[in-house]
């Protein structure tokens, strides 16, 4: 009996010590979450300053700073595949003070890069989406194509004769063109350029018959009536371009391309902190002023649950993997 009593007592002592240790570890985390944020927070972007993602992040960061009374600042770390920015974030302490902006481009990078050096589905904790945006399929104002249907008809009549301009190979715009080729059942040459300005010049000079890019990138030429928008890429018309028919409405079934930006944290970030940021974004992204600012860029502001944006990331990884494989785009 004494042996049994001693064994029970020892087991009880061991369990009590384990519970005490767990509580001791949890207590500082709980206090940290309750006080969050008590110092500046950086948001690392895999893009250069001045682009759509950068402007979106800065608008949101300013609002987060006002809401929490702490500075949220942007750190731009552009680079192929978003690798540099991702490594910076996932090597940081998972305490909510270093966040990442991931995008549809992150989903593309998984299949596009041989050595991505990170797994966005495992190395990051999702927080919320920030916004969603379509791409515009546009031609020059003096083009013979008045509708996207006109372009498809011409492409079917002369396979391989027409050129479509996009930015670099593997970009979402470039893959959108590859998907359009498959969905419409047509053959045309996709011509990649270093940046949007070069694509715009090519379109104006007649070197490409069609270009695909974001509304924000080409809205100046659209407003000046130098370009004609033939269609938008989403499944339904965007709030930013309600007068532009979708590719689906134009007769190409099954086509749906919507890009997005979202906030993620390093894996292991306390769920209390994730919830705090998510709740703030739910408020910020329904603010009329924020929605107006983003809509002018062609972006529909929208917060999500962590689970929703995680599911979107995984779904887009699968979607663009199939497009990349079908197009035969080599890994970089």
Identify the architecture of domain 40-133+258-327 in CATH: 3-Layer(aba) Sandwich (3.40)
Looking at residue 20, what is its pLDDT? 53
Cβ-based neighbours of 292, under 8 Å, separated by 6 or more: none
Residue range(s) occupied by CATH 3.40.190.150 in the chain: 40-133+258-327
In angstroms, rounded to a whole number, what is the distance separating the alpha carbons of residues 289 and 163?
Answer: 40
Residue linked to tokens 């979450």: 33
Residue range(s) occupied by CATH 3.40.190.10 in the chain: 134-232
pTM of the model: 0.86
Looking at residue 11, what is its pLDDT? 53
Residue 195, burial from CB neighbour count under 10 angstroms (0-12, 13-18, 19+)? exposed
CATH number of the domain at 134-232, please? Answer: 3.40.190.10
Phi, psi of 190 (to 5 degrees): -100, 120
In angstroms, rounded to a whole number, what is the distance separating the alpha carbons of residues 91 and 95?
Answer: 12
Cβ-based neighbours of 312, under 8 Å, separated by 6 or more: 129, 260, 262, 304
In angstroms, rounded to a whole number, what is the distance separating the alpha carbons of residues 137 and 149?
Answer: 12
Cβ-based neighbours of 51, under 8 Å, separated by 6 or more: none
pLDDT digit string (tens) for the chain, length 332 residues: 444 455 545 555 454 554 555 445 544 555 556 789 999 999 999 999 988 899 999 999 999 999 999 999 999 999 888 999 999 999 999 999 999 999 999 999 999 998 898 999 999 999 999 999 999 999 999 999 999 999 999 999 999 999 999 998 999 999 999 999 999 999 999 999 999 999 999 999 999 999 999 999 999 999 999 999 999 999 999 999 999 999 999 999 989 999 999 999 999 999 999 999 999 999 999 999 999 999 999 999 999 999 999 999 999 999 999 999 999 999 88
């Amino acid at each position: 009996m004494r042996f049994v009593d001693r064994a029970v007592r020892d087991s009880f002592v061991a369990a009590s010590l384990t519970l005490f240790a767990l509580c001791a570890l949890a207590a500082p985390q709980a206090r940290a979450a309750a006080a969050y944020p008590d110092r500046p927070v950086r948001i690392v972007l895999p893009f250069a300053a001045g682009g759509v993602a950068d402007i979106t992040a800065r608008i949101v960061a300013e609002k987060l700073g006002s809401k929490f009374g702490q500075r949220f600042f942007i750190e731009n770390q552009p680079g192929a595949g978003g690798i540099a920015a991702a490594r910076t974030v996932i090597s940081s302490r998972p305490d909510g003070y270093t966040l990442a902006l991931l995008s549809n481009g992150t989903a593309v990078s998984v299949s596009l890069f041989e050595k991505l050096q990170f797994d966005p589905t495992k190395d990051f904790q999702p927080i919320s989406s920030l916004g969603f945006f379509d791409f515009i399929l546009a031609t020059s104002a003096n083009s013979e194509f008045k509708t996207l249907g006109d372009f498809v008809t011409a492409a079917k009549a002369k396979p391989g004769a027409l050129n479509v301009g996009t930015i670099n190979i593997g970009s979402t715009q470039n893959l959108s063109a590859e998907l359009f080729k498959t969905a419409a059942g047509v053959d045309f040459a996709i011509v990649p350029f270093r940046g949007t300005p070069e694509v715009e010049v090519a379109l104006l000079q007649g070197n490409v018959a069609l270009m695909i890019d974001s509304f924000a990138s080409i809205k100046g030429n659209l407003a000046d009536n130098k370009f004609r928008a033939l269609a938008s890429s989403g499944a339904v018309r965007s709030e930013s371009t309600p007068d532009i028919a979708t590719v689906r409405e134009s007769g190409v079934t099954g086509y749906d391309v919507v890009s997005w930006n979202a906030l993620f944290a390093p894996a292991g970030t306390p769920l209390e902190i994730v919830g705090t940021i998510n709740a703030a974004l739910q408020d910020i992204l329904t603010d009329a002023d924020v929605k107006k600012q983003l809509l002018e860029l062609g972006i529909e502001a929208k917060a999500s649950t962590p689970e929703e944006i995680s599911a979107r990331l995984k779904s887009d990884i699968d979607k663009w993997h199939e497009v990349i494989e079908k197009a035969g785009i080599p890994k970089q």
